[in-house]
């Protein structure tokens, strides 16, 4: 009964891990993934002129749109932090699917513009938490780089930045944007962009 509840309500990676191990909190594992990080531009200012109900409804509609696109491309929404979304693409052609999802997200009709960052690398997947709060999430350099690439869009005048690792894994031709040294990393990240849509 518990496994069926997990299958209905949890992300596919969690449900698969529970099914494979028979444990409600399966052990952490390492995986190669493409991480997609998105953020809404101007969300704080947008909230100031709207009622709480309007803010909640607008954000829920936005997340529903993005989640449907991610799922259509075989990814899963892993975490929501305010108006930011972290999505994971695992197995097979994960980099190409993540880029396709990001391009579709940026082309989707949304009230506020969205920006996105993508990076391919190793992540640790596991149940993390304490004090009554537990979530199955992804940790590691790939997550941090994707988030920082998303933030760099504001400096580079782009809406979609992907690392050279993602570009190569997806087999894409992309326009180089620059090489960036990011906090916590000794090796710079080469960033590039592709056309939206």
Give the DSSP letter string of 54-123: HHHHHHHHHHHHHHHHHHHTT-EEEEEETTEEEEEEESSSHHHHHHHHHHHHHHS--SS-EEEEEEEEEE
Alpha carbon distance 155, 4 (integer Å): 46
| pLDDT for 1 | 47
| pLDDT for 10 | 52
Listed as ranges, residues in the chain with pLDDT below 70 are 1-26, 196-197
**Beta strands at 189-193 and 175-180: parallel, antiparallel or unpaired:** antiparallel
Distances in Å between the Cα of 191 and the Cα atoms of 51, 57, 118, 160, 175 are: 38, 34, 9, 10, 9
Segment holding 189, helix H or strand E: strand 189-193
Segment holding 44, helix H or strand E: helix 43-48
Count of Cβ atoms closer than 10 Å to residue 139 Cβ: 13
Alpha carbon distance 73, 89 (integer Å): 9
Alpha carbon distance 66, 48 (integer Å): 23
Alpha carbon distance 116, 84 (integer Å): 10
**Are the CB atoms for 138 and 86 separated by under 8 Å?**
yes
| pLDDT for 133 | 76
């Amino acid at each position: 009964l518990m496994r069926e509840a997990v299958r209905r309500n949890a992300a596919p990676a969690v449900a698969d891990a529970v099914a494979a191990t028979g444990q409600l909190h399966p052990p952490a594992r390492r995986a190669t993934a493409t991480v997609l990080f998105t953020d809404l531009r101007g969300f704080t200012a947008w909230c100031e002129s709207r009622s709480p109900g309007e803010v909640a409804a607008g954000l829920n509609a936005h997340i529903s749109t993005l989640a449907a696109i991610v799922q259509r491309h075989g990814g899963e929404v892993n975490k929501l932090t305010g108006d930011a979304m972290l999505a994971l693409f695992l197995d097979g052609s994960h980099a190409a699917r993540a880029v396709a999802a990001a391009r579709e997200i940026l082309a989707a009709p949304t009230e506020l513009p969205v920006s996105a960052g993508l990076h391919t690398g190793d992540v640790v997947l596991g149940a993390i938490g304490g004090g009554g709060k537990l979530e199955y999430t992804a940790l590691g350099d790939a997550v941090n780089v994707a988030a920082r690439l998303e933030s760099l869009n504001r400096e580079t005048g782009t809406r979609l930045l992907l690392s050279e690792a993602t570009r190569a894994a997806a087999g894409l031709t992309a326009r180089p944007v620059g090489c960036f040294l990011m906090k916590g990393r000794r090796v710079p990240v080469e960033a590039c962009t592709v056309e939206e849509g």
